[in-house]
Amino acid sequence: MPNYYQLRKQLVDYYSKCYKAGIKNIFITETYRPQERQNYLYAQGRTRPGQIVTWTLDSNHKSRLAWDIAVGPPHSLYDVATLTRVGAIARKIGITWGGDWVGSIDRPHFEIKANWKIPVGYKLEG
């Protein structure tokens, strides 16, 4: 089982790195998602009104290893340029970015493995 306290601490460090790189207007919109919420979101656009927002019933949000972000003003909520910059930083330190996926691109989505750690000595220029 992952050490969630340690993961949280490292993710705070990751977002500090984004801030240092000049990305100051991002925020987390969703982290842990119980199966009931995943079912609800999966039904959207399928059996209940709305646009499809997820492609799976078995999301890593359920295991507390995934999160979604958004972008604050003055940019649009899912500003592609900002999400791409955040994704590039994530990629450098071993975080999976949904913007790199083929087929079902999900730019606001990020996830880690249970044993993920920021690489020792990683320094962000800027």
- Alpha-carbon span 56 to 75, nearest angstrom: 29
| pLDDT, tens digit, 9 for 90 and up, residues 14-72 | 888 899 889 999 999 998 899 999 999 999 999 999 999 999 999 999 998 999 999 99
Q: Does domain 4-111 have CATH number 2.70.150.10?
A: no
Could you tell me if residue 28 is left (phi over 0), alpha (psi between -120 and 50 degrees) or otherwise beta? beta
| pLDDT, tens digit, 9 for 90 and up, residues 87-109 | 999 998 899 999 999 988 999 99
Per-domain residue ranges of the chain: 4-111
- Alpha-carbon span 56 to 54, nearest angstrom: 6
